[in-house]
């Protein structure tokens, strides 16, 4: 009788052990599938599961050889997904933008660019304007910067789906619970941008001029370095530098908030069972004192490509 009870106890333990092994195998399978997509990513093993951090750059050239379908497959098997902050725009915010649009596209009052720039900066801007048949004298520096990158450098033309788009669509289809790192009020975003003085956008303008002068090859090079997991090279690319120097990332208030919310979300995910897949802007992950540095400082064991 004692032997029979012992066998029953042993039999009762077998499903539990098998389930734990199956869970670990399943998590490993999801990680491997995600890694096969070619997107750079980092994994953090927690007491209850695994966190996958996908390092995203926006506007990936179609020539970049990565496999988004594999990231879709991994997303469909994850227990939860975290995506970037999303602005909550109200009808009032739209009306406000419509009636004060020139405030965001033009310099204040009747001032011109040379009122804010030193002689060398103004000469450089004027030369680029002449070369590209554009008059930058009255445009806001932020608007000019984005125009240089979008219109002249054409960094957002002929692009593939971004990792956020791939994961968002796959999570919706597979009904995987999805949360946003934060929801930002449109009113706060507009106020933040409206309150910034022209001089605050000069570093952005300088970086955009650097990118434009470096030439269009930097666009594909950025995608190639991203795919090769050469994270320091991506971060040093003039295009990535320009995007990181511009609003909202360079803003002391909003940029700091965007970074902090990612650390908070990933820290919270450490207590969740199963696999958490998060798509995080690469510049937020890999910059000095960025998310990876801060998580590493917590003593977490982070697996993935070198980020510095």
State pLDDT tens for residues 119-167.
999 999 999 999 999 999 999 999 999 999 999 999 999 999 999 999 9
Q: What is the pLDDT of residues 67-121, one digit of tens each?
A: 999 999 999 999 999 998 776 555 554 545 554 556 778 999 889 999 999 999 9
Strands 183-185 vs 86-88: parallel, antiparallel or unpaired: parallel
Strands 302-303 vs 41-45: parallel, antiparallel or unpaired: antiparallel
- How far is Cα 291 from Cα 198, in angstroms, rounded to an integer? 29
> What are the backbone angles phi and psi of residue 4, rounded to the nearest 5°?
-65, -45
Its pTM stands at: 0.85
Task: State percent of the chain over pLDDT 70.
Answer: 83
- How far is Cα 256 from Cα 241, in angstroms, rounded to an integer? 17
- How far is Cα 129 from Cα 147, in angstroms, rounded to an integer? 11
- How far is Cα 87 from Cα 206, in angstroms, rounded to an integer? 27
Residue 43: how many CB atoms within 10 A of its CB? 19
Single out the residue of 67, 69, 13 nearest to residue 39, CA to CA: 67
List, in sequence order, the alpha helices (H) in 246-308.
Answer: 252-269, 282-286, 291-297
The set of residues, in sequence order, having a beta carbon less than 8 Å from that of 21 and lying 6+ positions away, is: none
Q: What is the pLDDT of residue 135?
A: 94
8 Å CB contact between 208 and 19: no
Q: What is the pLDDT of residues 249-289, one digit of tens each?
A: 777 777 777 788 898 999 999 999 999 999 999 999 999 98
Give the model's confidence band at 182: pLDDT under 50 very low, under 70 low, under 90 confident, else very high: confident
Q: What is the pLDDT of residue 14?
A: 38
């Amino acid at each position: 009788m004692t032997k029979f009870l012992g066998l029953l106890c042993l039999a009762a333990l077998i499903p539990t052990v098998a389930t734990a092994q199956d869970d670990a195998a399943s998590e490993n399978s999801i990680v491997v599938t995600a890694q096969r997509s070619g997107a750079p990513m980092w994994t953090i093993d927690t007491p209850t599961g695994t966190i996958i951090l996908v390092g995203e750059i926006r506007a990936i050239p179609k020539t970049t050889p990565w496999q988004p379908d594999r990231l879709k497959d991994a997303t469909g098997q994850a227990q939860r997904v975290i995506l970037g902050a999303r602005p909550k725009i109200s009808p009032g915010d739209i009306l406000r933008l419509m009636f004060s649009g020139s405030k965001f596209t033009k310099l204040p009052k009747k001032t011109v660019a040379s009122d804010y720039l030193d002689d060398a900066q103004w000469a450089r801007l004027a030369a680029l304007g002449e070369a590209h048949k554009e008059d930058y004298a009255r445009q806001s520096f932020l608007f000019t910067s984005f125009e240089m990158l979008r219109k002249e450098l054409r960094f957002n033309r002929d692009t593939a789906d971004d990792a956020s788009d791939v994961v968002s669509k796959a999570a919706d289809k597979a009904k995987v619970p999805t949360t946003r790192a934060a929801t930002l009020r449109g009113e706060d975003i507009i106020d933040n941008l409206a309150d910034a003085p022209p001089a605050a956008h000069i570093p952005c303008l300088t970086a955009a001029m650097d990118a434009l002068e470096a030439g269009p090859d930097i666009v594909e090079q950025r995608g190639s370095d991203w795919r090769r997991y050469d994270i320091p090279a991506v971060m040093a690319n003039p295009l990535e530098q320009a995007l990181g120097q511009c609003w909202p990332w360079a803003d002391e208030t909003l940029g700091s908030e965007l970074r902090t919310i990612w650390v908070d979300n990933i820290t919270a995910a450490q207590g969740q069972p199963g696999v958490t897949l998060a798509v995080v802007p690469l510049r937020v992950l890999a910059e000095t004192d960025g998310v990876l540095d801060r998580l590493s400082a917590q003593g977490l064991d982070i697996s993935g490509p070198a980020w510095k």
